[in-house]
Amino acid sequence: MESRRRSRRSGQVLLMVTLALVPMFAILGLVTDVGYMQYVKMSAQTAAEAAARAAIISYHETVGGSNPTCGTGAGTVVCSAAAPTTCTSNITSPANFIERGCMYAQSHGFNSANQWVTYQPDVRSTPPTAPGMGTATYWVTFRVIQKVPQMFSAVLGNTSGMVAARSTTAVIGASDCIYALNRTSYSGALSVGGSANLTSSCGVYVNSTNSCAISTNGNGAVLSAPEYDVVGNVCTQNPLTPAANTGVSQVSDPLAALPVPASAPYTCDPDKIGTYSPSGDTDLYPGVYCGGIHVPNATYTLHAGMYILVGGGLSTQSANSHITSTGGVTFYNTFGTTTNSSTYSYSGIQIGATSTVSLIAPTSGTYAGILFFDDRSSPAGTSDNYGGGSTAVYQGAIYAKNAAVTMSGNSSISTAYTILVADTISMIGASGFNNNYSSLPSGSPIQQTVMVE
């Protein structure tokens, strides 16, 4: 009797264990499948981020700060913000930066029948995935999706699951507007001397590795900016507020992608061969000035457009020299051979501290926001001097990557925005840098890439 009882109890236990194993194996299978899907999710996120980064970096290197136009032809960018578009499969030679992003996602293993990579870009709008970010010059979102077959949990009827990941990157206006690019151990790569005053509404970036990369010389010198990024260190009589970010990585030329307006051999305008310097008040028009422009004791009124200075640069004589523009102007200061075989040597910009200056950059086109553009092949260390009285206006970017730039004479204090990119920078007098780019369609001419999500 006792033996039969034990047999019945053993059978009951076996039955109970068997019944318990079914949900246990189901739970184990679900955990296994969920774990595998989480692994695929991480891989998909990595692929989406790689695609977004590759696309936006390639875009930025190609387009830089110019104003993008949607399209598929030369000089345009890919836009299709209405809905995501599926990437072409098996890309090996990308035709544009969007395809480069697609290729990066595919190279991370997402290129089969059960996997999809999509993109969604647009210009001058807010990314839908980051509504609080504000307007970007350009953004792109990549989504990576994979259908994952279920293993253990398939017995419960779940034959497959979907895994999705996305990443958005954007190009926005840079927070800095003053760049000293000298990459050596240069003392005072950005210097504010004597009783000079540099007040900036935007940040400062200094590449020098010197322990005094930023310096102020004299107890009266004032340097004020919302951010200081310095590869080396600072030497100032008074502590900077906020404290400088020292030991940062060196930055490359922020306007490297800006296309060159013209190259040698240059065709001189027939009436602009030799230094252009009429003695009386004169209206000037865009063109190729072989020998540069010198403003004597007179008022020169510049009409809107591109002024190409082949040798000679731009200079003024005295306090009675006045320069003003009626519209957006850009100066490309260069040198070299002309079509008549004449050769002109390079000369810097020399605008006297007491001269009167009011110059405004264009608000549209490739050179929107660009006021002065020095030839990138100009001799290193060439001196550029930007002066002007208390009403001086330099509204635009002064791009002189090889030059030692001095700003003096209370320049640009009441200007909407000023950007300075130079090898080294010296401030004499009171100089103000503002950052109101509302007149420009894409904001600051200097753009930076950011990962939004």
* pLDDT (0 to 100) of residue 208: 97
Q: Residue 390 — φ and ψ, nearest 5°?
A: -65, -15
* pLDDT (0 to 100) of residue 422: 98
Averages of pLDDT over runs of 10 residues in the chain (453 residues) are: 54 59 57 70 92 90 70 70 85 89 90 85 84 83 85 60 89 91 96 83 96 86 92 92 95 91 95 96 97 97 98 95 96 96 96 93 94 97 88 93 87 79 90 89 87 89
CA of residue 56 relative to chain centroid, distance: 11
CA dihedral of 103, 107, 113, 116, whole degrees rounded to 10: -50
d(CA 40, CA 150): 12
- Spell out the SS3 assignment of 114-163: CEEEEEEEEEEECCCCCCCCCCEEEEEEEEEEEEEECCHHHHHCCCEEEE
User: Which residues are within 8 A (CB) of 193 and not within 5 positions of it... i.e. 6 or more apart?
Assistant: 216, 217, 218, 221, 426, 427, 428
Query: Using omega within 30 degrees of 0 as the cis cutoff, is the peptide bond preceding 265 cis?
Result: yes
Helix axes 97-107, 2-63, angle to 10 degrees: 150
Calculate the alpha carbon distances from 230 to 157, 177, 197, 233 in Å: 60, 14, 19, 6
- Enter the tokens of residue 199: 């007040």
Are 246 and 264 within 8 A, CB to CB?
no
For residue 271, the number of C-alpha atoms closer than 13 Å in the C-beta half-sphere is 6
Sign of CA dihedral 172, 173, 178, 181: positive
* pLDDT (0 to 100) of residue 63: 75
* pLDDT (0 to 100) of residue 83: 83
User: Which residues are within 8 A (CB) of 246 and not within 5 positions of it... i.e. 6 or more apart?
Assistant: 230, 231, 232, 233, 234
d(CA 351, CA 330): 16
* pLDDT (0 to 100) of residue 166: 93
User: Which residues are within 8 A (CB) of 173 and not within 5 positions of it... i.e. 6 or more apart?
Assistant: 137, 437, 442, 443, 444, 446, 447, 448
Tens-digit pLDDT profile for residues 332-373: 999 999 998 999 999 999 999 889 999 999 999 889 999 999
H or E stretch including 60?
A: helix 2-63
H or E stretch including 52?
A: helix 2-63
- Enter the tokens of residue 61: 């290197």
What residues does 386 pair with on adjacent strands? Answer: 351, 407
Tens-digit pLDDT profile for residues 142-165: 999 988 776 655 555 666 678 889
* pLDDT (0 to 100) of residue 410: 63
